[in-house]
Structure 1
Amino acid sequence: MTFEPTREAGLARLAEFVPRAGRAYAAERNTDRGPGDRSNVSTLSPWVRHRLVTEREVVEAVLQRHSLDAAGKFVQEVYWRTYWKGWLELRPSVWARYSASVAPALDSLSAADRATYDDAIAGRTGIEGFDDWARELVELGYLHNHARMWFASIWIFTLRLPWQLGADFFLRHLLDGDPASNTLSWRWVAGLQTVGKTYLATTQNIEFATEGRFSPRGLAESAPAVDDDGPIPAPGPAPRPEPLPRGRVGLLLHEDDLHSESLELAGLEVVAVASPTAGEPRSPAADPANALVAGFTAAALADGRARAGAHFGADASALDRLTASAIRDWASSYDLTAIVTPYGPVGPVRDRLDQLERELSDDLTLTRILRPWDALAWPHATRGFFPFREKIPALLREQQIGP
């Protein structure tokens, strides 16, 4: 199983999966048959994570083929990602706390725990399944969603390692590594997201859902909730669309949103396009580099940059990094008066955009373009997913998606 980091490849995978997105998906989605057979799930997440293919496009394609009743489970999975992003957007301090905790968690490991950690990320704990998933993650950059839950549960409750280091391991190696989905899913397994509610991996469940491929022994028999991250903050206000600038505008792309063709930029004079050549660092760990993820992200940026240049009939520039000096030089080269960029949700890209906005001069504005998909959904991420789920039919109607 390989993932080509282009929009064309993502659309091809979407078209291939759509026929199975209805009741077949609902019946088989929890089965993990291994990397040789992913026909029961979409595997669209690497493309959707970078918005090479957008959530709207995925849901529209599915609902053109299936009713919402038949494809409800799959549509909910797409909205889970939107919900996680919205939840974190309303509580950015949760991301800040997690980011600040990774390096101290690694530094504070005892010698014995460090050995356990090293064995866990290398896939040599001796735990059947767990070791296979560790190697699969590093080699392929992808895991079935059910395997991600089992892995996190074993990491936290059997190996008794800090959840932050497991989340960091995933974020560094997943092609679809998403700050919101990844961080909050690990918090959920640990009992921090829904306070006190944990997820316990069991031999019976793993054996059943892997169709007998794995039957690990010696797993933890209980999963006491972790209590090391402080209280959940109250939700803050959701972002609102900003007025579009005037004048000679440059479009600055980033890894979180690479489908500029569907941004609402009507009336703007886009005279130049740019993006970095590489993604933002995902981890404060001592050795965060991952060639597979770095290569996928760099190629995705190049694909988005080239398409944007062609779409707007503008020069497309590759910037070494998203720094104020690089942006100023680019803007000066094209006599730009304003810059627009897709809205970056909470995470490393958002941290970089916030820094840029502080450092750029007042005569060069940075306007973030918020998609209607996010603007409509995120304000509803104030509580758990199930109240949010009830809003899905209305959200689809508001965007005129489906029959």
Structure 2
Amino acid sequence: MDRFPLTRAAALERLERFVPRAGSAYAARRNLVDPQGNHANVSRLSAALRRRLIGEDEVVQSVLAAHRLDKCEKFLAEVFWRTYWKGWLEQRPGVWSAYLADVSAFHPGTMIAEAMAGRTGIDAFDHWARELAATGYLHNWARMQVASIWIFTLGLPWQLGAQWFLEKLVDADPASNTLSWRWVAGLHTPGKTYLADADRIAAMTGGRFRPEGLARVARTPEAASPLPRTPLRTAIALDPALPTLVLLTPEDCSLETVLPDLDVRAVVVADDLAANEWDRMALDDAALRAAAHWQCPVGVANPVAFAALHGCRQVVTGFAPVGPVAAALDALRSRLAANGMVLAEHQRTWDRLCWPHCGKGFFNLKSEIPRLLDQLRPMRSPLSVCLP
């Protein structure tokens, strides 16, 4: 897993090595997919960003310290795409609920099992299905081809394809994953589908793959009526004066770098919210850094009991976007309240500033990028001056 950093130190080192290639080299080569899995044309920081081992602001500011904006805009756009998906789903949480209901209603059959195992006879698809199983990773451009072939050539439900990726990808994110599959299917932007093309696949893989029999027509799956847009949820403010337990979840594994001064008495690692071994690796790293930073007990325990044991009156965690962790924290909030404690959240400035521009199409956020960068620039110093 060293190719996909799951500690903060490894992520910072990866970023430092990638920064020189984040400009024109990235723009020219980012969609080239190496069939051998050597994905050196992209940053491979997604697993770390997914768990906030490093922040988007840290990545962006390091890149801007080395490149002019016009030279690195392609890379920055990809960072903002991740933010866009999260902000969009925050304003339409019903899309996530509907997806979960659909997954529960489907009964996967033999054809789906064969596709996941890479036994369809479609060379590119089968290679990438096996790569996903072996490594937990696919190049983003390959993900688009796999999703398109799954939906339009194989005629399989997009929801089960999205669930496959969610379970197997090292950087699986509820928003980016679900909404990217919907985008390919033509459900995110009505009338706009993504149809895989054999010649394009050949060009992007250096001629290694030229799949035959791909769908020539993209038929958008049936979907329920669009769900209404809802206001962004407001983070529950923390009280710096209260004795505090910090709760580490897979949604934010570097809270010690962003939380204000607090009276932190203890830290709990939410191991029960880890979906896989990769989450646990990130949480283990987060726990070590938290113990060193706050010099307090760190445990894998019931947060209600651990908070009470250490005299804490509030539990502080990172803001959890729509997804499994957010649902679990809602349940925890009620248990804490019954014991006279508050579950407060730290929402990163990046999300607070960007998400209001994510309710429509990506262009609405993209047009705001220069202004957002001006607002975000003072947040931290470039990492080049603080790398370990």
TM-score (norm 1): 0.90
Match of 2:65 in 1: 64
Q: Residue deviations 1:332-387, cap 9 Å, x none?
A: 22111111110000011011111111232341100011111000000111110011
Match of 2:299 in 1: 317
Secondary structure of the corresponding residue to residue 268 of structure 2:
strand
CA contact (8 A) 2:244 2:316 kept: yes
Residue 251 of structure 2, aligned match among 252, 256, 270: 256
Secondary structure of the corresponding residue to residue 374 of structure 2:
helix
1:390 and 2:329 correspond: no
Counterpart of 1:145, as a letter, is N
CA contact (8 A) 1:191 1:198 kept: yes
What is the Cα deviation at residue 277 of structure 1?
A: 2.5
Match of 2:343 in 1: 366
CA contact (8 A) 1:261 1:308 kept: yes
Q: Residue deviations 1:237-256, cap 9 Å, x none?
A: 12334432232100001001
Report 1:42-81 matches (<5 A). Answer: 42-81=43-82
Secondary structure of the corresponding residue to residue 305 of structure 2:
helix
| Percent of aligned positions that are identical | 47
What is the Cα deviation at residue 280 of structure 1?
A: 4.3
Unpaired runs of at least 5, structure 1: 282-293, 320-325
CA contact (8 A) 1:279 1:298 kept: no
- For residues 135 and 82 of structure 1, the distance between their equivalents in structure 2, rounded to whole angstroms, comes to 29
**RMSD of aligned alpha carbons:** 1.5
Match of 1:346 in 2: 322
Report 1:299-310 matches (<5 A). Answer: 299-310=281-292
What is the Cα deviation at residue 157 of structure 1?
A: 0.5
Q: Residue deviations 1:180-215, cap 9 Å, x none?
A: 000000000111100121100010110011111111
**Matched length:** 377
What is the Cα deviation at residue 260 of structure 1?
A: 1.0
Secondary structure of the corresponding residue to residue 207 of structure 2:
coil
1:148 and 2:148 correspond: no
In 2 relative to 1, CA 33–136 (structure 1 residues): closer, same or farther, beyond 3 Å? Answer: same
Q: Residue deviations 1:115-174, cap 9 Å, x none?
A: 210100111111101011111111101101110000000000111000000000000000
1:272 and 2:270 correspond: no
The farther-off stretch of 189-198 and 270-279 is: 270-279
Counterpart of 2:304, as a letter, is R
CA contact (8 A) 1:278 1:298 kept: no
CA contact (8 A) 2:235 2:344 kept: no
Unpaired runs of at least 5, structure 2: 383-388
What is the Cα deviation at residue 5 of structure 1?
A: 1.8
TM-score (norm 2): 0.94
Secondary structure of the corresponding residue to residue 345 of structure 2:
strand
- For residues 122 and 272 of structure 2, the distance between their equivalents in structure 1, rounded to whole angstroms, comes to 35
CA contact (8 A) 2:20 2:66 kept: yes
What is the Cα deviation at residue 263 of structure 1?
A: 2.1
What is the Cα deviation at residue 278 of structure 1?
A: 4.7
1:236 and 2:230 correspond: yes
In 2 relative to 1, CA 59–35 (structure 1 residues): closer, same or farther, beyond 3 Å? Answer: farther
Residue 379 of structure 1, aligned match among 353, 356, 362: 356
- For residues 117 and 233 of structure 2, the distance between their equivalents in structure 1, rounded to whole angstroms, comes to 40
What is the Cα deviation at residue 279 of structure 1?
A: 3.6
Secondary structure of the corresponding residue to residue 341 of structure 1:
strand
Match of 1:197 in 2: 192
What is the Cα deviation at residue 56 of structure 1?
A: 0.8
Secondary structure of the corresponding residue to residue 43 of structure 1:
coil
- For residues 127 and 349 of structure 2, the distance between their equivalents in structure 1, rounded to whole angstroms, comes to 40
- For residues 367 and 212 of structure 2, the distance between their equivalents in structure 1, rounded to whole angstroms, comes to 39
- For residues 156 and 259 of structure 1, the distance between their equivalents in structure 2, rounded to whole angstroms, comes to 37
Match of 1:160 in 2: 155
Match of 1:334 in 2: 310
Secondary structure of the corresponding residue to residue 104 of structure 2:
helix
Secondary structure of the corresponding residue to residue 245 of structure 2:
strand
1:185 and 2:167 correspond: no
CA contact (8 A) 2:237 2:345 kept: no
Secondary structure of the corresponding residue to residue 123 of structure 2:
coil
Match of 1:116 in 2: 111
What is the Cα deviation at residue 317 of structure 1?
A: 0.9
Counterpart of 1:232, as a letter, is P
Secondary structure of the corresponding residue to residue 399 of structure 1:
helix
In 2 relative to 1, CA 4–372 (structure 1 residues): closer, same or farther, beyond 3 Å? Answer: closer
Match of 1:356 in 2: 332
Secondary structure of the corresponding residue to residue 75 of structure 2:
helix
- For residues 39 and 371 of structure 1, the distance between their equivalents in structure 2, rounded to whole angstroms, comes to 29
Counterpart of 1:311, as a letter, is H
Match of 1:127 in 2: 122
